């Protein structure tokens, strides 16, 4: 393990940047969506105001809440920070990156999902268990699809380390891999589902029949809710960075390249800005599906991912 001070500082910077940028990205997506829907947009910094407000408030805990309910927000937050720490956003020189490769990254998301679903079931309200069940339903289809997307990329690069994937993909000549196109579509679908976005879930709803993510966190308040909201925006940020790293890795700096690191910051902001706008666009032109259409949607994503892998094995192995 090569351990250097610059690497450590870069790692710390990446984590702080993720913590700071994640709510901004959420705010940007909300703003874009409001514009596209002809509404007055909330301020860009609204998520920060929300977090600040929530941290100030008392925690109102239901009588039946157990210790697991109180620990879960911190665990979920920790998982998401770890995910952001190992996905290269600015630089591939990340000392924490060997701690978890892309497969373990899927595991991190899985761990957070299990905790939030269990927390949803903890109070024992009808909405909470409903949310937990639906979250696991979405998860058990989305998780393998994500794993297969990563598998396909790993087959191309011959590595599951996210840093190596980025370094290899960024250096190759621009070739369109048909398998990556399939994987990209599957990844987009999975990201929508995993981040509780339309058409699978609606982050702006409290309608009992439609909600998934919101149903699980109904009983949370105060700092717990703040951490969960922050973790949700970190998750969106992590998925965005993962998508960028897998499919648009150009511009991410490598080891000991300070200038490239400086150039990477505006490029990241630009990429995230475009990505956020596209997300808002997808959310605007789609309608929320019935919950039982969600498995079909995710099943399609899973099959697309498998198809991408087959395309890789059938066509590209021959070249």
Partner 1 sequence: MPGLLPIDTLLIVACAWLAIGAAGLVAPRNTRFIARTLFPLGALVGIVAGLVALGSLGSPAQTAVLAIGLPDLPFHLRLDNLSAVFVLLLGIVSAGISIYAAGYFRHPGQGGQGTAPGVLCVEYHLFLASMLMVLLADDAYAFMVAWETMALSSFFLVTTDHRHAAIRQAGYLYLLIAHVGAIAILLSFGVMTGGVGGSGDYTFAGMRAQELSPFWGSVAFLLALFGFGAKAGLLPVHVWLPEAHPAAPSPVSALMSGVMLKTAIYGLLRVSFDLVGMTLWWWGVVALAIGLLTALFGVFYATVQSDMKRLLAYSSIENIGLIAVGIGLTLIFHAYAMEALAALALTAVLYHCLAHAGFKSLLFLCTGSVLHATKERSLGKLGGLIGPMPWVAWLALAGVIAGAGLPPLSGFVSEWLLLQGFLFSPGLPHPWLNMVVPVAAAIVALVAALAGFAMVKFYGIIFLGQMREPALKDAHDAGPWERLGLVWLGGLTLLLGVLPGTIILRIDAATQQLLGKGLADRVAENGWWMLAPISPERASYEPLLFLAFIVATLLFGRWLVRRLYHGRVRRSPAWDCGYHFQGPRAQDTAEGFSQPIRRIFEPMFRMERHFPTLRDKEPYYSVKVEDHFWYWLYLPVARAAAWVSTLITHLQGGRIAVYLMYSFVTLILLLLVARP
- Among 173, 209, 259, 292, which residue sits at the site for partner 1 (rule: CB under 8 A)? 292
* Distance separating alpha carbons of residues 263 and 250, to the nearest angstrom: 11
DSSP class of residue 253? B
- Among 13, 223, 248, 265, which residue sits at the site for partner 1 (rule: CB under 8 A)? 223
Residue among 82, 110, 75, 43 nearest 228 (CA): 75
Residue 207 Rama label (left phi>0; alpha psi -120 to 50; beta): beta
Show contacts with partner 1 in window 40-99 (CB under 8 A).
55-56, 58-64, 66-68, 71, 74-75, 77-79, 81-82, 85, 96, 98-99
DSSP class of residue 255? T
Show contacts with partner 1 in window 98-137 (CB under 8 A).
98-101, 103-104, 107-108, 110-111, 113-114, 117-118, 121-130, 132-134, 136-137
Would you state the structure tokens that stand for residue 147, as one six-digit string?
Answer: 């794993």
Give 42: exposed, middle or buried? Use CB within 10 Å, 0-12, 13-18, 19+.
middle
Alpha carbon 203 to chain centroid, angstroms: 14
Show contacts with partner 1 in window 231-290 (CB under 8 A).
none
Contact status: 187 vs partner 1 (CB under 8 A): no
Q: 124 Cβ partners below 8 Å, 6+ apart?
A: 64
What is the separation, in whole angstroms, between the first and last Cα of the chain?
34
Locus of tokens 């990340």: 94
Cβ 55 vs Cβ 223: under 8 Å: yes
Residue among 31, 34, 41, 22 nearest 84 (CA): 22
Least Å from the CB of residue 106 to partner 1: 8
Least Å from the CB of residue 11 to partner 1: 11
Contact status: 310 vs partner 1 (CB under 8 A): yes
The region of 217-225, 239-247, 259-267, 279-287 touching partner 1 under the rule CB under 8 A is 217-225
Contact status: 313 vs partner 1 (CB under 8 A): yes
- Among 143, 194, 229, 283, which residue sits at the site for partner 1 (rule: CB under 8 A)? 143
Contact status: 23 vs partner 1 (CB under 8 A): no
Least Å from the CB of residue 222 to partner 1: 8
Least Å from the CB of residue 226 to partner 1: 8
Contact status: 17 vs partner 1 (CB under 8 A): no
Residue among 19, 86, 111, 12 nearest 242 (CA): 86
The region of 37-45, 148-156, 175-183, 257-265 touching partner 1 under the rule CB under 8 A is 148-156
Least Å from the CB of residue 172 to partner 1: 16
Least Å from the CB of residue 140 to partner 1: 4
């Amino acid at each position: 393990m090569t351990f250097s001070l610059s690497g450590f500082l870069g790692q710390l910077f990446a984590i702080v940047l993720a913590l700071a940028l994640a709510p901004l990205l959420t705010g940007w997506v909300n703003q874009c969506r409001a514009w596209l829907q002809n509404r007055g947009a909330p301020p860009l910094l609204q998520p920060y105001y929300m977090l600040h407000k929530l941290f100030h408030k008392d925690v109102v805990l239901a009588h039946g809440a157990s210790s697991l309910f109180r620990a879960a927000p911190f665990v979920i937050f920790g998982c998401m920070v770890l995910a952001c720490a190992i996905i290269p956003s600015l630089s591939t020189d990340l000392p924490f990156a060997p701690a978890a490769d892309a497969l373990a990254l899927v595991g991190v998301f899985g761990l957070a999902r299990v905790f939030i679903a269990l927390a949803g079931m903890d109070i024992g309200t009808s909405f909470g268990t409903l949310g937990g069940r639906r979250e696991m339903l979405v998860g058990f289809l989305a998780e393998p699809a994500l794993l297969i997307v990563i598998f396909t990329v790993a087959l191309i690069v011959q590595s599951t380390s996210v840093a190596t994937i980025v370094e290899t993909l960024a250096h190759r000549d621009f070739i369109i891999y048909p398998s990556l196109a399939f994987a990209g579509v599957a990844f987009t679908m999975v990201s929508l589902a995993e981040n509780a976005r339309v058409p699978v879930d609606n982050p702006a709803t409290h309608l009992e029949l439609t909600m998934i993510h919101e149903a699980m966190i109904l009983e949370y308040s105060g700092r717990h809710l703040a951490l969960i909201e922050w973790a949700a925006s970190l998750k969106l940020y992590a998925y965005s960075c993962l998508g960028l790293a897998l499919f648009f890795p150009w511009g991410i700096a490598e080891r000991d390249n300070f200038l490239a690191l400086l150039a990477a910051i505006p490029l990241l902001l630009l990429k995230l800005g475009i990505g956020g706008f596209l997300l808002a666009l997808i959310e605007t032109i789609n309608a929320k599906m019935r919950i039982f259409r969600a498995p079909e949607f995710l099943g399609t994503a899973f099959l697309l991912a498998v198809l991408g892998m087959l395309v890789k094995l059938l066509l590209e192995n021959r070249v």
